[in-house]
Amino acid sequence: MTGIRGTLRRTRRRIGAAAGVVTALAAGFALAGTGTAQAAAGCQVTYAVGGQWQGGFSANVTVKNLGDAISGWRLTWAFPSGQQVTQAWNATVTASGANVTAADVGYNAAIPTNGSASFGFNGSWSGANTAPTSFALNGVACTGATTPPTTPPPTTPPPTTPPPVTDAMTAVAAMQPGWNLGNSLDAVGPDETAWGNPRITPELLDNVRAQGFKSIRIPVTWSAHTGGAPNHTIAAAYLNRVKEVVDWALADGFYVMINIHHDSWQWINTMPTDRTGVLTRYNAIWTQLATTFRGSSPKLVFESVNEPQFTGSSGDAQNATLLNELNTSFYRIVRASGGNNANRLLVLPTLHTSSEQARLDELRSTFTALNDPFLIATVHFYGYWPFSVNVAGGTRFDATVQKDLTDSFDRVHDTFVARGIPVIIGEYGLLGFDRHTGTIQQGEKLKFFEFLGHYARSKKLTTMLWDNGQHFHRTGLTWQDPELFGQIKSSWTTRSGTASADQVFSARASAITSKSLTLNLNGTSFVGLQQGTTDLVPGTDYTVSGDQLTLTAAALTRLHGNRAYGVNATLHARFSAGVPWRINVVTYDRPVLSNATGTTGAFALPAQFRGDQLATMEAKYADGSNAGPHNWTSYKEFDVAFAPDYAGNRIVLKPEFFAEVNDGAPVTLTFHFWSGERVTYRVTRSGGTVTGTAG
């Protein structure tokens, strides 16, 4: 992924303060629809609340089979506090009052001895969210014992190798959706923990599969694990570790993609000046990989190289020639190695995995020359750059951001898919997520992912979410942001309604008035508005006229309560399809900034946010010219030049900002807040000293 190179900091975000895990041992685990006396039975159930917020929560449930293998399951429990399931994944969940039943969804019906199946759901609660402590499997109470079989179980035939892939387009469609195991085996360093992630475990892969992902891209960086020329032998321990992880993923039922990853910028990029050396090393690695994996399942897919790039080339023509040589050499090595590699699916990237038309045309020429029906094209997509990193005022998912996405996907579709060549978006996300997912405002990023999933479906593109640990917690095995994943998951199959904002602000210093939001129906219809499980009353609490949803002054007065700064109430707009749209009702007043002194290496200005949130910051000199980095725009990059610290009641101006500020020249900062407020502040750098004055 572009932007991950160098030092990486993982940020772990959680919604809400409550999280818990309850484990129960379940006995009498029987085949659904069969008698209970045919096999040893028993199981373990882990119920984990991964995130909780006002009126809502998310939970993951893992069922471990302690008895003989089963081919179907049904888990039942009762909520102690009357909670309700509102959305589920990887299980069919029904309820009658507080009683809940979760059943398998086919692909996860079979659970071997000591194997697990997992599912998750979003729920609502009021008053309390007490976790259930007792479960039953297939109608048998969970007592903690494992019953022996009364008759020998039927013989299970050994697993067979999946049949060879006969249609690349069908196979790639079956790979949707996909997930990236980022910043692990691709980490630059001594091993897979070098960038802060833990060692990969079967439990991690099991749980990712249980989230609904059908394919997994396992990026691998080989540079630190190969010997010298001419053989460039891969260290046996490392190659065995990669194969171990690949085999775990295949056993889970994933399509699996492996590649040569960060080597692209470590040594492959020197190909313009060291063609022979690079090609020798590249060919040696792929020769060893092709030999190691030629007997592996046809569901294992090879990708030639990640984000190919070349330093010091003469331009586009040479870049195209070099990439074609790499892709073609990779193709010939794999095909010549025999076994399942004779018709294994092979993935070829564009230069930089770009979706620019010239880059697509270059790759299409390679496909034409190779004329192989088992080839797949790949590009990456991280959105319109100012929005993707929050710079140049790119705070909103607007028409420009949307057009950038549709233009990109249209080009890819028209160049490849329309000609019968399948395409995988091998990585997608937002580049600002490299630092933390809070660099882009929550509602705006939800709209981005909702639309991306929809439009990729419409263009028959398979997508693989880039996750370097900032999305799915590698040890907690829960989503850092369940709301975000809920929107992503929903987009795989349907559209969701959204709105112009996910926040409604009322100034505490003013009388409460009605507030309106523009609904983006996205082909759905508006159903209603809820607070928790309580329906708001149309005509009294809100009105809908066309695409305008208006909250009445009377309703807002009730919702704001004592008008404490911050979120006073959370509503959910419900639509005929997809996930609800959360709306926070917020009390604020104009933020107050105070004078400060500090250094260019450590400067923070005191800030009373008073319920508001920072959207972006402008920086200009007295003559109106732009100050600081990216001086082609007055709007600076969020969390690179500046960052709010809400817990510390301050706004930090980072060393990267002052590194490009003229000495002795006062800079006027304008802080833009999501309420619409703008507050100015002046900073002056004098050598290593900074003086800040409130406007």
Chain centre to alpha carbon of residue 549: 30
Active site positions, annotated: 307, 427
Give every strand in the sheet of 689-694, ordered side by side.
596-599, 689-694, 678-686, 667-673, 614-621
What angle, rounded to 10 degrees, do the helices at 357-370 and 316-336 form?
30
Report whether 153 contacts 160 (CB < 8 A): no
Q: How far apart are CA 451 and CA 449, in angstroms?
A: 5
Report whether 122 contacts 86 (CB < 8 A): yes
- Residue 167's CB is within 10 A of a number of other CB atoms, namely 12
Chain centre to alpha carbon of residue 116: 23
Per-residue b or e along 524-538, where b marks 16 or more CB atoms closer than 10 Å to that residue's CB: bebeebbbbeeebee
Q: Phi/psi at 618 (nearest 5 deg)?
A: -100, 155
Q: Phi/psi at 520 (nearest 5 deg)?
A: -105, 95
Report whether 294 contacts 338 (CB < 8 A): yes
Burial class, 354, CB count within 10 angstroms (exposed 0-12 / middle 13-18 / buried 19+): buried
**Residues 352, 353, 356, 360: what is their CA dihedral angle, to the nearest 10 degrees?**
120
| 262, amino acid identity | H
Output Rg (C-alpha) for the chain, integer angstroms: 27
With tokens 């409550």, the residue in question is 18
Q: How far apart are CA 334 and CA 573, in angstroms?
A: 52
Q: How far apart are CA 585 and CA 442, in angstroms?
A: 15
What angle, rounded to 10 degrees, do the helices at 316-336 and 275-293 form?
30
With tokens 């001086």, the residue in question is 631
H-state helical runs in 252-382? 263-266, 275-293, 316-336, 357-370
Report whether 263 contacts 219 (CB < 8 A): no
| 460, amino acid identity | K
Q: How far apart are CA 290 and CA 292, in angstroms?
A: 6
With tokens 């419900």, the residue in question is 574
Residues 10, 12, 18, CA angle at the centre, nearest 5°? 170
Q: Would you call 334 helix, strand, or coil by DSSP?
A: helix
